[in-house]
Amino acid sequence: SGPCRSPDSQELTDVERAIEIVINNFQRYAVKGRKECLTPNELRELVGQQLPHLSQHVCSLDEKIECLGDPDEAKLDFGEYWAIIGEAAKGCRVKK
């Protein structure tokens, strides 16, 4: 039972499962300090391990990570992470 499920919920849709996975990955990689933020280094690790094919095709993703500030100290909240993942997905879709 993840963040998208209620006790009486039925089977999740594909999109709900995908959102749950995006949330779970954010929480798994947000290990330094607070669980509600990623550092740029944590985001880089997440992208490298969870989006290896996508990151190869979306060069602006690495540039965005570089612009976030100190790799170990800057904080990226879930909304900012969601926006970056959305931009990466949009870039991948456009290139198809």
- Band (pLDDT 50/70/90 cuts) for residue 60 is confident
pTM of the model: 0.76
Q: Are the beta carbons of 27 and 35 closer than 8 angstroms?
A: yes
Residue 15's CB is within 10 A of a number of other CB atoms, namely 9
Tell me the residue type at 38: L
- Residue ranges and CATH numbers for the domains of the chain are 14-95 (1.10.238.10)
The Cα 28–Cα 59 span in angstroms is 24
Tokens coding 84 = 């970056």
The Cα 50–Cα 47 span in angstroms is 5
The 10s digit of each residue's pLDDT in 1-59 is 555 555 566 899 999 999 999 999 999 999 876 778 999 899 989 988 988 877 666 66
The Cα 69–Cα 96 span in angstroms is 31
The Cα 78–Cα 53 span in angstroms is 22
